[in-house]
Amino acid sequence: MKEVKAEDSDSIEDIVELSLLYSGSDVTWVAAMETLCDEFMAQNPDIIINTENSGEANCENELKVKEALDEFPDIFELENVDAFADAGKLGAIDAEVSNMVTNVIVINKKSYGLPIYATTNGVIYNKNIFKKYDLEIPDSYEEFIQICDTLKAEGICPLAIGGNQEENMTYWLNYFFQKDIMEENPDWLEMRKERSVKFTSAESIHMLEDLKELFSKGYILEDSENMTENQIVTRMTENQFAMIYAGPWLFTKIIDAYPMSTESDKTSLGEEIPEDQDPVTYRLGWFFLGNDNGHLTALTRNNAYWALSETCTEDTRKKEAAQRFLKFFYTKENYRSMIQGMYGLPVTKEAIIYPAPSAQQKLLKDYRYADKNTVYLGMQGTASSFLTDVNKILKELYTGEYTVEKTAEEIDQAWDREAQEE
């Protein structure tokens, strides 16, 4: 926690103190947040921001602790905006700020959540391995499976699953959810909320069969589902596997671990470097994974939102100061520096362009022209604990403890149980 006291300032007159809670253990993001807050205070000497980083994937557990201690923050990062708004914990954000961004969480015509940045999922792959075995970026899921079979036959592990203890399996689950269910029935999730369909339905069973197949066919690096992001990156840059289905936030760790990963495999004259003379052992590549027919839908996620506490907005001076900070955060130059470090997708209405490696440039280009879908199991619109429970259930599936049918039944029960608790 970084705490600055009003009495440490030259004058305590008219000083407004705000508490800010944000999440994430990525050192690039933490450094960027702390720098931004310092710059804001330097330009706004009448405002002091005391920051705290939860160190976790989200802030919600920490928020519950702080609420019990009567230390609820003024500005905070939040995933399940609906639940906190329904509980009366949030204050509305004025249009002057909310109009700066897209995909605002609006409840009863009031803005309660502003997306911090957007992200998506695709395949990060080793371009060197693809080059060695003459593999092309697949146009469909069938071609992707053919690549996995080719790599396995050559003694190369095709895939790893991991890098995020909370969501390591749900990236794939949501890909298959899109491919096997949503593209045929875009209303499926709403129908599940109305209980007119279940996870035991035929299309959902197909989704779970696809997921299990990744393990049953031996495509997955052993025990990778239990690895941290740093462990995954180490094994990837050491060529222990060829691909991982993840998001562009992993680029930063890969590049930090192996800066040469973004270098070209061509000489300065544009000539291809012979494989046996290439000093670079790992090259970073990216592609979106299409469906069975080659159709591409990019899943877009707003993992977290900025929110203001109700007590903050009830205090006129605090509310004004908090919204001044949010406006500062989304101002073009400031926001560019924030998302650049995470290779995030901008959520501002004003176009944001930032320098990035070729893999990120390809992502941004492909994303621009892809169909997009924001429906994501375990995020906004589903029960807050659903994601955690589903991950536990899926572990039983890929270890063989549960059949596909048993897995579907357990997911249905988790959904219904948590829907009642919400």
Domain of 213? Answer: 122-299+372-421
Q: Is 137 left (phi over 0), alpha (psi -120 to 50) or beta?
A: beta
**What pLDDT, on the 0 to 100 scale, is given for residue 274?**
85
Is 56 inside a domain boundary? Answer: yes
Is 365 inside a domain boundary? Answer: no
pLDDT over 90 percentage in the chain: 62
Is 1 inside a domain boundary? Answer: no
Do 324 and 411 lie in a common domain?
Answer: no
Tell me the per-residue pLDDT of 118-165, one tens digit each, with 9 for 90 and over. 999 999 999 999 999 999 999 999 999 999 999 999 999 999 998 665
**What pLDDT, on the 0 to 100 scale, is given for residue 266?**
86
For tokens 């009003």, the residue is: 6
For tokens 């700066």, the residue is: 100
195 touches 407 (CB < 8 A): no
**What pLDDT, on the 0 to 100 scale, is given for residue 105?**
94
Neighbours of 277 (CB within 10 A): 7
Tell me the per-residue pLDDT of 48-82, one tens digit each, with 9 for 90 and over. 999 999 887 678 888 888 888 889 999 999 988 88
Out of 65-69, 187-191, 315-319, 380-384, least confident range? 380-384
Do 290 and 177 lie in a common domain?
Answer: yes
The span from the CA of 344 to the CA of 204, in Å, is 30
Do 387 and 415 lie in a common domain?
Answer: yes
Tell me the per-residue pLDDT of 324-347, one tens digit each, with 9 for 90 and over. 999 999 999 999 999 988 888 999
Tally of structural domains, the chain = 2
**What pLDDT, on the 0 to 100 scale, is given for residue 96?**
96
The DSSP call for residue 274 is P
**What pLDDT, on the 0 to 100 scale, is given for residue 181?**
94
Do 235 and 376 lie in a common domain?
Answer: yes
pLDDT over 70 percentage in the chain: 93
Q: Can you read off the two tokens belonging to residue 32?
A: 């960027």
**What pLDDT, on the 0 to 100 scale, is given for residue 166?**
61
Do 161 and 261 lie in a common domain?
Answer: yes
Do 344 and 210 lie in a common domain?
Answer: no
Is 356 inside a domain boundary? Answer: no
Q: Can you read off the two tokens belonging to residue 44?
A: 């706004």
Do 54 and 16 lie in a common domain?
Answer: yes
Is 357 inside a domain boundary? Answer: no
Q: What angle do CA 252, 255, 257 make, to 5 degrees?
A: 105
Do 263 and 379 lie in a common domain?
Answer: yes
Do 129 and 112 lie in a common domain?
Answer: no
Is 384 inside a domain boundary? Answer: yes
The three-class DSSP label of residue 96 is: helix
Helices (DSSP H) in 60-187: which residue ranges? 60-68, 81-86, 95-98, 127-132, 141-153, 170-177
**What pLDDT, on the 0 to 100 scale, is given for residue 57?**
66
**Mean pLDDT, the chain, integer:** 89
Is 361 inside a domain boundary? Answer: no
Do 107 and 209 lie in a common domain?
Answer: no
Q: Does 364 have pLDDT greater than 60?
A: yes
Burial class (CB in 10 A: 0-12, 13-18, 19+), 18: buried
Any residues with CB less than 8 A from the CB of 108 and at least 6 apart, and which? none
Q: Does 5 have pLDDT greater than 60?
A: no
**What pLDDT, on the 0 to 100 scale, is given for residue 260?**
93
Do 159 and 217 lie in a common domain?
Answer: yes
Is 367 inside a domain boundary? Answer: no
The CATH number of the domain holding residue 255 is: 3.40.190.10
Q: Does 8 have pLDDT greater than 80?
A: no
**What pLDDT, on the 0 to 100 scale, is given for residue 228?**
87
Q: Which of 45-59, 219-233, 401-415 has the highest mean pLDDT?
A: 401-415
Do 219 and 325 lie in a common domain?
Answer: no
The three-class DSSP label of residue 28 is: helix
